[in-house]
Amino acid sequence: MAFTIRLASLLVFAAVACLGSAARAATLPDRLDPPAPFPAIVAQAPTIENVAPGVDYGDYRLRTVAGPLSVHVIVVQTARTDVKLGVILADDALISKGETVGSMARRDRAVGGLNGDFFDIGNTNRPIGMVVRDGALLQLPYKRYALAITRDGAPHFAEFSFSGEIQIDARTMPLEGIDEMPPNGGLSLITPLYGRVPPEENVTLVKVQPLGEAPPLGRYRVAGVADNTAQQPPGYYVAIGPSDYSYINVPEVNDLITVTGDLQPFGLDRLTEAIGGGALILHDGRWYDDRDAPYRAENEKRMPCSGAAITSGGLLYLIEVDGRQPDVSVGVTRREFSALMRSLGA
């Protein structure tokens, strides 16, 4: 099974003390031979290395009938206890100026990484889909497939849904957002990852303090009502939109607020990491035309692609094909990318 993912990143961490002369595991092919519709390969120059125990990297320079292709593959033995997969945010915030995968990998001492979810490019740079980091839900799911890592280290693809509530003043209301202004005028929870909170008309901003549990889900104590007409510093806030304002009383200082919720089909008690993605392009060994795919009309367009694939044996492949560089790599279509993933055993 495989899907494409696109500024959060999925990074690979591994114990490297015993690298030295470690032999390369037989997890990457010496040569690529994808089936059609992948363009026929005329010549190739692969370089394969073991970068850490349980982690191999392949750099495949291909000459095809469609033009040159530069293919990069990381394969991870997820069952190993000395290998960890982690979600990293650009500048460690949901809204940022953006950061390269290489920079994120260096500051967190990862041995490999891949560009993650689609994001609000050139604006907030915020990832579009679900984000779970270290077991904490940082952003609610969007109707697209996500790559999730369960507590046993196993990778999974799934379309997630979320159901949550906020209890304020003995009233229980739906939680409609995390780290965003209230969708549809309802209720949302803001955390420090949101960054500075801009002025927002028609929103009541209640400053809260977490009480021990790992936020964002848990209990909070009200610290006061912030000025919604002025920018507020990063922190924890409950944002009350105009639709819900008439149903609840504005909380008083020291009031308790409880935020609850969970994901399906995997609950938060089972997850360590998750990152939203794009199109599911391979299912049961065949091309899959995902009806919810972003930019579905561009399925047959040759472009740079990055994605993840899982084998039946639990290996996780992180794959990237460069594009839009006629002399280096012309890119692939989603169907071609799917064929490449299938050739690796997904």
Strand duo 280-283 + 271-276: pairing: unpaired
* Predicted local distance difference test score (pLDDT) of residue 16: 44
Residue range 231-284, pLDDT digits in tens: 999 999 999 999 888 888 889 999 999 999 999 999 999 999 999 878 899 999
* Predicted local distance difference test score (pLDDT) of residue 143: 83
* Predicted local distance difference test score (pLDDT) of residue 183: 86
* Predicted local distance difference test score (pLDDT) of residue 100: 87
Q: Are 29 and 344 in contact (CB under 8 A)?
A: yes
How many Å is the Cα radius of gyration of the chain? 22
Q: Are 198 and 190 in contact (CB under 8 A)?
A: no
* Predicted local distance difference test score (pLDDT) of residue 2: 54
Mean pLDDT of the 70-95 span: 92
Mean pLDDT of the 63-86 span: 95
Strand partners, 228: none
Q: Which residue has the higher pLDDT, 300 or 118?
A: 300
Q: Which residue has the higher pLDDT, 110 or 212?
A: 110
Amino acid letter, residue 326? P
Q: Are 241 and 186 in contact (CB under 8 A)?
A: yes
CA distance 69 to 44: 9
* Predicted local distance difference test score (pLDDT) of residue 17: 37
* Predicted local distance difference test score (pLDDT) of residue 317: 96
* Predicted local distance difference test score (pLDDT) of residue 185: 87
- Residues for the chain: how many in total? 346
Q: Are 98 and 89 in contact (CB under 8 A)?
A: no
Mean pLDDT of the 112-139 span: 88
Q: Please provide the average confidence, as pLDDT, over all residues in the chain.
A: 90
Q: Quick one: pLDDT band at residue 135, thresholds 50, 70, 90?
A: very high
Residue range 175-202, pLDDT digits in tens: 999 999 998 889 999 999 999 999 999 9
Q: Is the pLDDT of residue 156 over 90?
A: yes
* Predicted local distance difference test score (pLDDT) of residue 5: 42
Cα–Cα separations (whole angstroms), residue 98 to 60, 85, 121: 28, 21, 9
Mean pLDDT of the 21-47 span: 85
Work out the burial of residue 303: count CB atoms within 10 Å of its CB; fewer than 13 is exposed, 13-18 middle, 19 or more buried. Answer: middle
Mean pLDDT of the 316-327 span: 96
**Any idea of the CA torsion for 168, 173, 179, 182, to the nearest 10 degrees?**
-110
* Predicted local distance difference test score (pLDDT) of residue 23: 44
CA distance 248 to 225: 14
* Predicted local distance difference test score (pLDDT) of residue 105: 87
CA distance 314 to 228: 48
